[in-house]
Each structure stands twice: as structure tokens, then as C-alpha cells.
Amino acid sequence: MNKNIIRTFFVTLGTVFAMLLLIAGVLGYLITGPPPKWDKTWVKPTDEAAARLDEKIEALELQIDEAVDGEELTLELTEEEVTSKMDQLARDGDLSVDMEHPQIYFSEGLVQAISRVDLRIDVWVAVEANIGVKEGRPDIKIESLHLGRLPIPKTLVNSVVTALERATEERWDELDVVLQEVTIKQGELSIILVKNGPSAEHRSQTSPPRHLLHQLSGLTELV
């Protein structure tokens, strides 16, 4: 009887371990596998394209300084410029996560982003998102998120994005502009801002606004 109990115990334990190994194997297969295939051409990052984005941001900052309250300002970015800048920030370690080979695509109404991310193991992360506007700030809705082959539920992802958006509210409030419109066309992202200068009291109580590029790169990181 005692031998049967011990044997049953080890058979049960062995079955549980086998199931755990099977689950781990399936999850490993799903997570470390390739991301969804999009019909996109690989965007080659270049220092020149990253520099063009920097120049556009610097020009926009000058326009903001010279604009009167209520004046509209427009920033237009291409896939090559944003991909190149994200690649540069990733290589310099200036992003909140370690990533390699980021790719940013603009389709009709959608931003698609893919990158290999260090999550203790290298995982290809692919995300599709809509970017709208709410109360002068970006309103990001995730359409899909995959870790390798594994899809992540939208409700969970959007809850996390909402928390991240709240964490960046102060950064947007420091700017002298509000976001009015985001238009996503094939290969291009257009952002319309409206000058909304803070009061003198607000200027004296807050630190000088961070470089606008940091705000926009924070928006891209959310995506």
C-alpha cells in the first residue's frame, strides 16, 4: 500500500511537471516566434533622416515661440524619419526599454510599430494603434499587440496605455501648445498644434518646458 502511494505521488508529480514543461514550451514557441506579417517594406534607418526630424522639431519650437495664442502649427513626419530617430534613441539607450531594429509604419488611420525588445529574452513586439486627440493630448487606442506569435487582449493593453498617458500628462501640460489634430496617411503622420501660452504665474511656478522632441518621442514610445 505504501509503495502504491509513493508511486502514485511520483506519477502525479511527473505528470504535473510534464504539463508545466509543455505549457512552457508552447509559450516559448509563441513568444519567441516571429511577429505577424505585414505587407510592408523594411525601412532602413539613416542618420540623415534622424537629423531631418531633429531639424523639423527645432523649427517647430521656433515657430511656437514666435506664434500668437490661437495660431495653428503643423508638423509632418515620414516613416523614414521616425524610424531613424527611434533607432537612434534605441542605440543611444535613451528609451525606457532596450530594443533593436524598430520599424514605424503609417497606414490610413493606423500607426504600426515593430521591434525586437529585451524582456529577459529577445521578443519581437508588434503593435497597431489609432492616435486621436482628447482634451489637447494624444488619445491612443491599441488595435492589436503581439509578443511574438502571442496576441495580448486589447482590454488589458488599453488599460496599461491609459495609465501611461496619465503619467505623461504633466509633460504635455508643460508645453505652450495643445494638440488639435493627428492625421495618419500612407507613409506620413501630420500633427496640428495650437499655441496656448501659459499665464505668467504658471511660467513662474513651473520649470522651463522640456525639449519638444522628448514629448513627441514619449508619444511614440506609448505606441
**pLDDT tens-digit series, residues 65-110:** 999 999 999 999 999 999 999 999 999 988 878 889 999 999 988 9
User: What is d(CA 64, CA 215) in angstroms, rounded to the nearest whole number?
Assistant: 14
pTM of the model: 0.75
**pLDDT tens-digit series, residues 167-194:** 667 777 777 888 999 999 999 999 999 9
User: What is d(CA 201, CA 73) in angstroms, rounded to the nearest whole number?
Assistant: 25
Which H or E run contains 59? helix 47-66
Domain boundaries along the sequence of the chain: 1-31, 35-222
